[in-house]
Amino acid sequence: MINQSASTPESQPVATQSVWFFSGDLLFASRVESAAVRSGIAFSLMGKWPETWSTPPGWIIVDLATRFGASSDIIANTIELFPNAQTIAFGPHVQPARLSKARQAGFGAVLTRGQFDSALPSLFDQ
Q: Which CATH number do you get for residue 54?
A: 3.40.50.2300
| Tens digits of residue pLDDT in 53-73 | 988 999 999 999 998 888 999
Classify residue 107: in a domain, yes or no: yes
**How far apart, in whole angstroms, are the C-alpha atoms of residue 41 and residue 17?**
7
Predicted structure pTM score: 0.85
Classify residue 53: in a domain, yes or no: yes
**How far apart, in whole angstroms, are the C-alpha atoms of residue 89 and residue 103?**
8
- Segments forming the whole domain that contains residue 99: 18-122
Sign of CA dihedral 113, 72, 108, 42: negative
Classify residue 4: in a domain, yes or no: no
Classify residue 9: in a domain, yes or no: no
Classify residue 68: in a domain, yes or no: yes
Please compute the mean of the pLDDT values over residues 2-30 and round it to a whole number. 68
Classify residue 7: in a domain, yes or no: no
| Tens digits of residue pLDDT in 19-50 | 999 999 999 999 999 999 999 999 999 999 99
The count of structural domains within the chain is 1
Contact criterion met (CB below 8 Å) for 91 and 102: yes
